[in-house]
Amino acid sequence: MKRTITDKLISSFNSLRFFMTEPILLRIMRWKHEKSYRNDPNPFITVYIPTYNRAKLLMERAVPSVLSQTYKNFELVIVGDHCTDETEELVLKIKDPRVRFYNIPTRGYRYPPTAENHWFAGPVVASNKALELARGRWICLISDDDIWTKDHLESLLNFAQKNNFEFVSGLVEEERFGKKIVAPGVHAVGPYFNPTIKVEDKNSPQFGSIITWLYRSYLSFMKYNSNCWRKSWNRPLDSDMIDRMYKAGVRIGFLNKVVGYVMPRPGEQTIGLEAYKAAEKEKIEHFKFNKH
């Protein structure tokens, strides 16, 4: 993508703003809330799903995966990004008081509508709305087309509490073109987050897929960056977020255990940005913005 002067200015301003404010806000939030996490063996968790017109997939994968968890003290907040299909109808049929649904009223223009930008920043608005609606002491996300292991919440929460981490993640099994692999985590200091660094620092914190994140709710002052697509690097919303968390000084842990599965959607052969690029026209049509 050719970056404009506006892209560069906005990205630079945001980088400076995050660098200056988020470490300070983290210290304030710790001072206000951290003590309450010391003796809470069964905390309330908010699980959220940002979604847009994938009703059938949502109900086949993510929702049953969450509702079958061994850990039961959670709410499931599903945020539709102005869904116009049967998402709301199907969610309202779920007979579980832990499930809530909110549909964003509009879906206006947000960024140049390319397949890449939809992948990088598509879930930002719905995810930030979910963070506003969250009532849990811990927060985690699952994409509408992904699946968790049954002990996903239990394993990550136990790991975080035992080690006093504020943010934890784990491993996922990925499927691409019929081949399944366990995707390794990436280190905070290395070429994944900074292309000028050629070798990973194995002593720096490690991160897994966004669907394995579990973190304390006082970290939700860090919202997803709606301008992440403007950057030259770390353009996906999750890469932008975890890079900021590391730089702010969040205590981060990595569970070396598979806690989720990422697989192609029906009719596709691969996942992630690769899948969006392979079906570029379809993705642009599916995610097109409303005129009003």
Predicted confidence (pLDDT) per residue in 76-102, tens digit = 999 999 999 999 999 999 999 999 999
- Whichever domain contains 107, its CATH number is 3.90.550.10
Structural tokens at position 3: 């970056």
pLDDT beyond 70 at 197? yes
**Residue 258 falls within a domain, yes or no?**
yes
Domain range enclosing 102: 5-286
pLDDT beyond 80 at 273? yes
Q: Is the pTM of this model over 0.85?
A: yes
The answer to whether residues 103 and 268 touch, using CB atoms and an 8 Å cutoff, is: no
289 HSE (CA, 13 A, CB side): 15
Question: Can you say whether residue 188 is alpha, beta or left, with left for phi > 0 and alpha for psi between -120 and 50 degrees?
Answer: alpha
Give 290's pLDDT tier (boundaries 50, 70, 90): confident
Of 28, 27, 101, residue with least CA distance to 63: 101
**Residue 45 falls within a domain, yes or no?**
yes
Count of domains observed in the chain: 1
- Please tell me the distance from the alpha carbon of residue 153 to that of residue 140, in angstroms, as a whole number: 9
**Residue 9 falls within a domain, yes or no?**
yes
Q: What is the average per-residue pLDDT within 271-290?
A: 96
**Residue 291 falls within a domain, yes or no?**
no
Per-residue pLDDT reduced to its tens digit, 13-66: 999 999 999 999 999 999 999 999 998 999 999 999 999 999 999 999 999 999
